[in-house]
């Protein structure tokens, strides 16, 4: 499922960046408190099969997609990644494929990628002009502007740009359990 929709007219780029930065800071702090074994331990996040490392890979996948969308849109092209969302349930498939892609990657490498993608997505959002941010986005029927689309891709049921917040309770609980 794709995250909840976002309205670029409500949240300015700067507010979106602040929200992403605040959530990322807490995620990074929590992840830094785990050793490599704890990061890679499967079945510890969200009551499912995921590890904290899988969560970092998952969040990175969506930031990577957002970067691809902004790059293609900025070049006046239809983002190829939009083809991945043409059928219901494809967001779940993207999640599963994204986590699977990094299962055998060492935790430090996944965390480095997580940090790099976060810096890149924040820089891309910050360097987008107001005109581009609010430009019509014709490639998704639910998102009217580029800002709407990026907010959706980085969003959750709680709203645009709140994808990390959707996972923070699970990560907090796991870190608290480890630190008991």
Confidence category of residue 40, pLDDT binned at 50, 70, 90: very high
For 148, residues 6+ apart whose C-beta sits below 8 A from its C-beta are: 5, 6, 7, 8, 137, 142, 160
Residue 11 confidence class, pLDDT cut points 50, 70, 90 = low
pLDDT tens digits along 67-122: 999 999 999 999 999 998 887 778 888 988 989 999 999 999 999 999 999 999 99
* 76 neighbors 68 (Cβ within 8 angstroms): no
Percent of the chain clearing pLDDT 70 (strictly above): 94
The tokens 């699970």 sit on which residue?
A: 170
Distance CA 142, CA 172 (A): 32
Domains and CATH numbers, the chain: 13-178 (1.20.120.450)
Q: Are 137 and 144 in contact (CB under 8 A)?
A: yes
Indicate the pLDDT class of residue 10, thresholds 50, 70 and 90: very low
pTM across the whole model: 0.91
Rounded distance between C-alpha atoms, residue 150 and residue 28, angstroms: 21
Q: Are 10 and 151 in contact (CB under 8 A)?
A: no
């Amino acid at each position: 499922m794709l995250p909840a929709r976002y309205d670029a007219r409500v949240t300015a780029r700067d507010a979106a960046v602040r929200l992403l930065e605040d959530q990322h800071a807490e995620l990074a702090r929590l992840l830094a408190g785990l050793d490599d074994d704890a990061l890679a331990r499967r079945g510890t996040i969200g009551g499912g099969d995921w590890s904290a490392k899988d969560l970092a890979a998952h969040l990175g996948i969506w930031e990577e997609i957002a970067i691809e969308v902004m790059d293609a849109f900025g070049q006046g092209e239809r983002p190829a990644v939009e083809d991945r969302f043409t059928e219901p349930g494809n967001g779940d498939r993207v999640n599963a494929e994204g986590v699977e892609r990094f299962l055998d990657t060492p935790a430090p490498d996944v965390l480095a990628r997580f940090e790099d993608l976060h810096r890149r997505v924040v820089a891309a959002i910050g360097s987008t002009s107001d005109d581009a941010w609010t430009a019509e986005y014709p490639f998704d029927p639910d998102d009217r502007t580029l800002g709407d689309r990026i907010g959706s891709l980085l969003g959750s049921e709680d709203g645009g740009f709140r994808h990390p917040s959707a996972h923070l309770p699970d990560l907090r609980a796991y870190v608290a359990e480890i630190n008991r």
